[in-house]
Amino acid sequence: MKLAKKGMMLALTAFMGASLAGCGAAANNGQGSSESSTAPSAPAASTAAEQPQQTDVKLSGSVVVYSAGPEGLANKIKEGFEAKTGVKVEMFQGTTGKILARMEAEKSNPAVDVLVLASLPAMQGLKGDGILMSYPEAANADKLIADWSDKDGQYFSYSASALGIVYNTKLVQAPPASWADLAKPEWKDKVNIPDPSLSGSALDFISGYLSASGDSGWSLFESYKQNGVAMAGANQEALDPVITGAKSVVAAGVDYMAYKAKAAGEPVDIVYPKEGSVISPRPAAIVSTSKNTDNAKAFIDYLLSDEAQQLVAGAYLLPGRSDVEAKDRASVSDIPTFNVNWQWMNDNADSVTTSFTQLFK
């Protein structure tokens, strides 16, 4: 996946209006590549020799972070890191697509030090393009769920979300039990699905489903189109009409958004279809052109720290560390998942996005 191609595919036009937020502004749970498993791999074994402690470095100045959010969590992480280190975080917040588009626009003079994306295949593509810096000695990297992070230490999935069927509890008494249910007549014109060109997690779901189902998997999405399923912007844009009651269901809804809305008293809930879904890790990485590498490494260390992992759990996301429990939501072991092939998802991301958006336009 070349950055230029991927960045243009994922919402280049949407990026142009973005602003800089810190500068002023029966399935398995493993989701391995192509081999099946029954649970996420245990954290990679390590020893003190393999994971040396960093020599204390006096930090100062700033670090530029491009983050796919969620916004509330990103702001808390920014504040926590600044309070702990004294380093100023200049943060641009946007979707994965907007971040990739910004990087493409800035490729002749890169500004970013740290990337935080909402799509593992997108980060894998950046690794393949040679854009990321290795940091295998990152603090607590050995505690991460190994399937979600890079064995070479180039990216670290500090959190994850899962995709499910989010529904309005006032309108829906018997929620759908499977993805295929949404093609039934009783759901005609009542369902939204996020646009994979604007949502990295939606693309993870669609490409993950196809990687597990093969070409026959397209029949599900064709049946959605025939049943009036609407492609409705990014994740929040797809969810809002369900909260208000204009629609009944979001297919491939991001679960932490549903849990947050439910906790705020909105009439929504979520189910994970019995045949499986996709857990979408949210990886962070240092770019190889970083001008503030010490600060960037410290930011990665903070993301994996006890403090930041508790912030992750408090935002209804799945913590990336296996020793930190999820709060007030389904845990990894509770969510049935497809046996997805992450490499296939990365290799086919552009073609899947194009085919899906053309189908729904």
Instruction: Please give the DSSP secondary-structure letter assigned to residue 263.
Output: H
Alpha helix (H) residue ranges in 106-189: 120-128
CA-based Rg of the chain, rounded to a whole angstrom? 19
Across 49-176, where does the E strand assignment appear? 62-67, 88-93, 114-116, 132-133, 156-168
Positive or negative: CA dihedral 195, 201, 202, 203: positive
**Percentages (nearest 5) of helix, strand, coil residues in the chain:** 40, 15, 45
Asked whether residue 256 is marked as a ligand-binding residue, the answer is yes
Give the up-direction half-sphere exposure of residue 201: CA atoms within 13 A in the CB hemisphere.
33
Exposure on the CB side of residue 283, measured as CA atoms within 13 A: 25
Check if the beta carbon of residue 143 is closer than 8 Å to that of residue 264: no
At 284, which helix (H) or strand (E)? Answer: strand 279-287
Check residue 53 and report its DSSP letter: P
* Look-up of token digits 């810190």: 22
The annotation places the binding site for Fe cation at 256
Q: List the binding residues.
A: 256
